[in-house]
Amino acid sequence: GKANSQLPHLHTLQISSLLPASVCSHSTGSSKTQSTLKVFHRHGPCSKHTRQNPTTKPLLADLLSYDQSRAKSIQARLNFNSNTDNIKTTTLNKNKFIDRKANLPVQPGISLGSGNYLVTIGLGTPTKTLSLIFDTGSDLTWTQCEPCARSCYTQKDPIFNPASSSSYSNISCSSSQCSQLTSATGNDPACSSTTCVYGIQYGDQSFSKGFFSKDKLTISPTDVFPGFLFGCGQDNQGLFGRTSGLLGLGRDPLSVVSQTAAKYGRYFSYCLPSTSSSTGHLTFGKSSAGNAKFTPFASSQGASFYFIEITSIYIGGRQLSISETIFKNSGTIIDSGTVITRLPPTAYSTMSAAFKQLMKKYPSAPAYSILDTCFDFSGYTSVSIPTVTFEFGGGVKVDLHPNGILVAIGKTQACLAFAGNGDDTD
Amino acid sequence: VGIFGNTQQKTLEVVYDVAGGKLGFGAGGC
């Protein structure tokens, strides 16, 4: 406490607070409306996926490896999108997603192994409950569907059966909705008889293919969307855990944000909990924004992603000497599915050095996966760490929560929860 | 491209006003 009063730009925290508890505690957040869904971590005690399968929890090293795959695939996809010649080449190959091998390297997608936050929605009539990964970095919502003509992985909820839904219908190949799949998935649709067939492949080679369909989406008893367009997956493989699929919150016309625009006005918000043992929320539509400060979206390079502009970083209250150009040259997106923030290497190295300087009382620990600024807290039950503040376009300053600064590697080690890209131009 | 990831978003109220072209951050969202 004494140290804290002398140096106000420190957080003093119990090391145990960086680790999840063994039991779930539910959020008491204020932003609750009819259209609020509970957000929970796929591998924490609030998830029914974990409660009955505690041994399926992956190692942190695995999650960070998946995270690197996602970060690389986002960068590959943005590079791809900037090359129109490549897009033409892709769209000419009408049958490519039927041939899995032909589809692999053509359109980089988003790795999903690290898409760890789930929400529960309802689909069909009568409504079936589905737990979906929520992802601001992709657009198409899909779920596994009976009869799983080729392959379904094991999921926790019963697999959606369109034959049991009175409001279900397929989309025809000739419809305008079918052609929208090209931008939403990066792949041209195909046809099975007259039914539109989608295929979406992610950067880690996870994929879902099946019928492009519509049915009733239920966010809450009062928020129901007939004719919601989604993928009814008949061939699904990859790092989806035991979830039922994915909820796409990107900017494309097929995303849930766009499809519900008439009611929610393309407005949504979420809060991710401090640890995987507590819950957060995802709210559609305007609710009390509370104390939110707004930064403008930056001009977008891709159809899906939400670009913002970082202008400065503060460590321990002190602004780092990083040229704004470093951030402008690369651009920045905000993503609910990437775990660790990636910075241009020049910015990251400056941040790491400043953080280490203010943490010099703690011994260093070896690097862990993509994290290379690590500390040994053996013998400590509480530690003092520098505050970290990001400044975004429009002068918006955001103080990070301590659990957004350090990630615990175990009970005695933690690492700065940031990583550098390979190159300032990434 | 840089990526502002979900670890750094923890406990923040992250508000997407897509129609309004802006993103909000609020402290203590959950």
Give the one of A267, A294, A332 whose C-beta lies nearest to B3's C-beta: A332
Q: Judge: A272–B22 Cβ closer than 8 Å, yes or no.
A: no
pLDDT at A44: 80
Cβ atoms of A97 and A199 closer than 8 Å:
yes
Give the closest residue to A194 by CA, choosing from A169, A209, A173.
A173
Give the number of A-B residue pairs with CB atoms closer than 8 Å: 185
Q: What is the gyration radius of the CA atoms in chain B, in angstroms?
A: 10
Distance from CA of A178 to the nearest CA of B (A): 24
Q: Judge: B22–A399 Cβ closer than 8 Å, yes or no.
A: no
pLDDT at A51: 56
Residue B25 clears pLDDT 80, i.e. is over it? yes
Is A143 strand, coil or helix? strand
Mean pLDDT estimate for chain B: 94
Instruction: Give the separation between CA A175 and CA A298, rounded to whole angstroms.
Output: 33
Q: Judge: A74–B16 Cβ closer than 8 Å, yes or no.
A: no
Q: What does pLDDT average to in each consecutive run of 10 residues of chain A (426 residues)?
A: 55 91 73 81 75 64 86 78 36 30 30 70 97 91 97 94 98 97 93 96 82 97 96 92 92 96 96 88 84 91 86 97 94 93 97 97 96 97 97 97 95 96 80
pLDDT at A393: 97
Could you give the C-alpha distances from A70 to A12, A205, A240, A335, in angstroms and in order? 32, 11, 13, 10
pLDDT at A93: 30
pLDDT at A323: 95
Chain A neighbors of B26, CB-CB under 8 A: 289-293
Q: Judge: A74–B10 Cβ closer than 8 Å, yes or no.
A: no
Cβ neighbours of residue A148 closer than 8 Å, sequence gap 6 or more: A159, A234, A235, A236
